[in-house]
Amino acid sequence: MMSKTLVEKIWDAHVVKSEEGFPDILYIDTHLIHEVTSPQAFDGLRKRGLPVFRPKQTVATADHNVPTLNQLQPIKEELSRYQVDMLTKNCAEFGIELYGLGHPFQGIVHVIGPELGITLPGKTMVCGDSHTSTHGAFGAIAFGIGTSQVEQVFATQCLLQSKPKTMKIEVNGTLEKGVGAKDIILYIIAQISAAGGTGYFIEYAGSAIESLSMEARMTICNMSIEMGARGGLIAPDQTTFDYIKGREFAPAGEEWNKALAYWKTLYSDADAKFDSVLTFNAEDIAPMITYGTNPGMGMGIQEHIPATNAQPEKEKLSYQKALDYMGFDDDASLIGKPVDYVFIGSCTNSRIEDLREVADFVKDKRKADNVTVWIVPGSKQVEQQAINEGLDKIFEAAGFQLREPGCSACLGMNEDKIPAGKYCVSTSNRNFEGRQGQNARTLLASPLTAAAAAVTGVITDVRELLTPLAP
Amino acid sequence: MKKFTKLTSAVVPLNIENIDTDQIIPARFLKATTREGFGENLFRDWRYNGDNTPKPEFVMNNPTYSGQVLVAGKNFGCGSSREHAAWAIQDAGFDAVISSFFADIFKGNALNNGLLPIQVSDDFLAQIFKAVENNAKSPLEVDLENQTVTIVETGAQESFEINPYKKSCLINGYDDIDFILAQKDLIEEFETP
């Protein structure tokens, strides 16, 4: 039998039809939807007089546009309220399960899928959101689609897709204390650029990846799109199975045994051919921070901003524009630079493990006076768990504001925006111009680096604040 | 879906790399529930000041430049999957976008709406920018049937790639849903264990 990569195994198991000169018709197991990219797709169905073909394979939540304070009050902003109401109406009309505001399962679409056991190894999953790659952490083919494709999946439970090229990124070795999954992925993107993965599906592998928790693996896969890749995934292993077992919609009983037997076949064969292979050492990775306006513009926190003159000729103009926007100079160090906001949240870093790590670090510490700190849990379940574990008390004592679940300040769409000109150390995924609010300046970093900035009020190398391990 | 065959037009040059979909259409304008009207907010924060007055230095505010073709630096359309980016470009009167590299999702979204993304070489992209620098009205000819783009004044021509299926969709103005729905039996067969 021909050896296959993990992507090929899952892909081939979902091809309804493959014909020369046409993209494959790919069957989609699970379709996640939210309020922003679905209304025009529902409208399209109405115009065509079509139902949703497999409503039971579709799950909806409201996340992008929701406020993160007083969520049970009517949404103040009229257009946001209308969009969220429209989702409720559309889901009712087309028979789709909705975890809307007030529901105990509500949350960021890429946080709730995994925590409810909807995200499973070997599945094909799509959502009208580029960070759908998050679900790849379970060994699923998961990717973001546009609204026309949302309509396509509604109408047919299939997508026309050309088989992607495959890339393997291996990270081997042991991470230094204070360095985590977010640093790994920011490091990889800085190495291969914001376009370095375009056209590929990436499989992350190697000992450093295998040693990560599911939450950390989700952080890595989440940002695959930030190097242009369609998706990223990690072969499922015992860590994956342990995470899934017992979750709300996970298979149980005999179904579990059957599923597990299949999941254990989901790995790239030893001699499978990837179109590209890259290898990195975990020991080379420091806490990372971005200094520019795309996620590829990142560096180790102790490094200096690369000089404009060192950039390729045709990229100089764009590079200078980015530094001007950020208010940074060539060769500058960011250490000690005052920050105004710290945002800990988004589909990249809003899971319980992220909140625990931050709470553990800020226990008995207090935020600096010049910083506003927002902690936005990824879901109602994460929020509840944080409260159950008493993390809310730690945050309160530190002056960190624990808000309600949603996409929040990741994308400057809802009420949570960073004011113009202000610097925000953010655990989200994009530092584009205006991403967090008009003229807001975003520095992407890990939850620990963000928490360190919150406590000191300036960009800080978190390694210097961590207590050395007892001998 | 809008049909595309051939066009000859001056271009709007935007020589910036990594133009992401948050620049094309910022998230705060994604609250509409229809596909229309996004054009007025295309490149909103580059095009207008905070008080909604136009920024004269931005190319779309310069009456010297006009046309149905947007020409931009590499990795155009990176970032979010928002199809609103393709809708906004189309709504603002563009029928084609030229770059030396497109982000995947944007490219797919554009094709699904009859907005033609044309990937050219770095060298040809530089030639287009040069031609527009010399003559702001320098026309470009795009021929989808023959998959060529030509700088009319210099005669320089390059061919571009497009999936043959998507090409026929654009030329005929039909979309993927019609195509997949025709195979519904196969889908139901696939679902049967």
Which residues of chain A have a CB within 8 Å of the CB of B103?
Answer: 195, 198, 228
CB B116 within 8 A of CB B171: no
Quote the mean pLDDT of chain B: 96
Which single residue is written with the structure tokens 């009229």?
A: A78
Contact check, Cβ <8 Å, B27/A130? no
Number of Cα atoms under 13 Å in the Cβ half of residue A394: 19
Contact check, Cβ <8 Å, A413/B104? no
For residue B179, which of A213, A216, A149 has the smallest C-alpha distance? Answer: A149
- Which candidate in A14, A160, A223, A297 is best for mutational testing of the B interface (most B CBs within 10 A)? A160
Sort A193 into a burial class: Cβ within 10 Å, 0-12 / 13-18 / 19+: middle
| CB interface of A with B, residues 215-244, below 8 Å | 225, 228, 230
Question: A13: nearest CA in chain B?
Answer: B190
What H or E segment, with its residue span, contains residue B116?
A: strand B116-119
> Running DSSP on this structure, what letter comes out for residue B142?
E
State phi, psi for A278 to the nearest 5 degrees.
Answer: -125, 145
Nearest CB among B34, B79, B80 relative to A43 is that of: B34
- Adjacent-strand bridge partners of A338: A458
Nearest CB among A80, A228, A321 relative to B104 is that of: A228
Q: What is the reported pLDDT for A460? A: 98
CA B7 to chain centre: 14
Contact check, Cβ <8 Å, A148/B80? no
pLDDT tens profile A226-263: 999 999 999 999 999 999 999 999 999 999 999 999 99
Contact check, Cβ <8 Å, A430/B81? no
What H or E segment, with its residue span, contains residue A281?
A: strand A276-281
Percent of chain B with pLDDT over 70: 100
The CA distance from B76 to B98, in Å, is 9
Which residues of chain B have a CB within 8 Å of the CB of A27?
Answer: 187, 190-191
Nearest CB among A23, A314, A321 relative to B163 is that of: A23
Arithmetic mean of pLDDT, A151-155: 98
Which single residue is written with the structure tokens 């939450």?
A: A215
Q: What is the reported pLDDT for A452? A: 98
Contact check, Cβ <8 Å, A130/B80? yes
Which residues of chain A have a CB within 8 Å of the CB of B187?
Answer: 16, 25, 27, 53, 156-158
Q: What is the reported pLDDT for A467? A: 72
User: Which tokens sit at A9?
Assistant: 């195994």
Quote the mean pLDDT of chain A: 97
The CA distance from A203 to A205, in Å, is 6
Arithmetic mean of pLDDT, B73-85: 96
Which residues of chain A have a CB within 8 Å of the CB of B175?
Answer: 148
Fold adopted by B6-191: Aconitase; domain 4 (3.20.19)
Arithmetic mean of pLDDT, A21-37: 97
Q: What is the reported pLDDT for A8? A: 98
| CB interface of B with A, residues 42-81, below 8 Å | 45, 50, 73-75, 78-81
> Does ipTM surpass 0.90 in this model?
yes
| CB interface of B with A, residues 125-184, below 8 Å | 126, 163-165, 175-177, 179-181, 183-184
Asked if pLDDT for residue A470 goes beyond 60, the answer is no
Contact check, Cβ <8 Å, B78/A294? yes
Question: A129: nearest CA in chain B?
Answer: B81
Which residues of chain B have a CB within 8 Å of the CB of A199?
Answer: 104
For residue A143, which of A12, A26, A51 has the smallest C-alpha distance? Answer: A26
A262 Cβ under 8 Å from any chain B Cβ: no
Which residues of chain A have a CB within 8 Å of the CB of B119?
Answer: none
B105 Cβ under 8 Å from any chain A Cβ: yes
Q: How confident is the model at residue A469 (pLDDT cuts 50, 70, 90)?
A: low
Sort B7 into a burial class: Cβ within 10 Å, 0-12 / 13-18 / 19+: middle
Contact check, Cβ <8 Å, A438/B26? yes
pLDDT tens profile A32-86: 999 999 999 999 999 999 999 999 999 999 999 999 999 999 999 999 999 999 9
Asked if pLDDT for residue B168 goes beyond 70, the answer is yes
Contact check, Cβ <8 Å, B181/A156? yes
Which residues of chain A have a CB within 8 Å of the CB of B127?
Answer: none
Question: B33: nearest CA in chain A?
Answer: A39
- Which candidate in A34, A57, A81, A158 is best for mutational testing of the B interface (most B CBs within 10 A)? A158
Q: How confident is the model at residue A468 (pLDDT cuts 50, 70, 90)?
A: low
Question: Domain boundaries in chain B?
Answer: 6-191
- Bridge-based pairing state of the strands B11-14 and B6-9: unpaired
Please calculate the CA angle A365-A370-A373 and round it to the nearest 5 degrees. 60
Arithmetic mean of pLDDT, A190-216: 97
Q: What is the reported pLDDT for A325? A: 98
- Which candidate in B1, B18, B48 is best for mutational testing of the A interface (most A CBs within 10 A)? B18
For residue A250, which of A270, A269, A236, A230 has the smallest C-alpha distance? Answer: A236
Q: What is the reported pLDDT for B1? A: 83
Question: B126: nearest CA in chain A?
Answer: A314
Q: Distance from A28 to chain B by nearest Cα, in Å?
A: 11
Which residues of chain A have a CB within 8 Å of the CB of B73?
Answer: 314, 318
pLDDT tens profile A366-425: 999 999 999 999 999 999 999 999 999 999 999 999 999 999 999 999 999 999 999 999
Q: What is the reported pLDDT for A314? A: 86
Residue A255: how many other CB atoms lie within 10 Å: 10
CA A46 to chain centre: 32
Q: Give chain B's radius of gyration (CA, Å).
A: 18
Q: Which residues of A92-130 are buried (b: 16+ CB within 10 A; e: fewer)?
A: eebebebbbbeeebbbbbbbbbbbbbbbbbbbbbbbbbb
Which residues of chain A have a CB within 8 Å of the CB of B75?
Answer: 194-195, 198, 228
Residue A311 carries which side chain, given as an amino acid letter? Answer: Q
Q: How confident is the model at residue A21 (pLDDT cuts 50, 70, 90)?
A: confident
Taking the model in full, what pTM does it have? 0.96
CB A405 within 8 A of CB A377: yes
Please calculate the CA angle A377-A383-A385 and round it to the nearest 5 degrees. 130
Q: Distance from B43 to chain A by nearest Cα, in Å?
A: 11
Which single residue is written with the structure tokens 């179109």?
A: A275
Nearest CB among A64, A152, A412 relative to B176 is that of: A152
| CB interface of B with A, residues 77-96, below 8 Å | 78-84, 86
- Bridge-based pairing state of the strands B140-143 and B116-119: unpaired
A318 Cβ under 8 Å from any chain B Cβ: yes
Q: Distance from A150 to chain B by nearest Cα, in Å?
A: 10
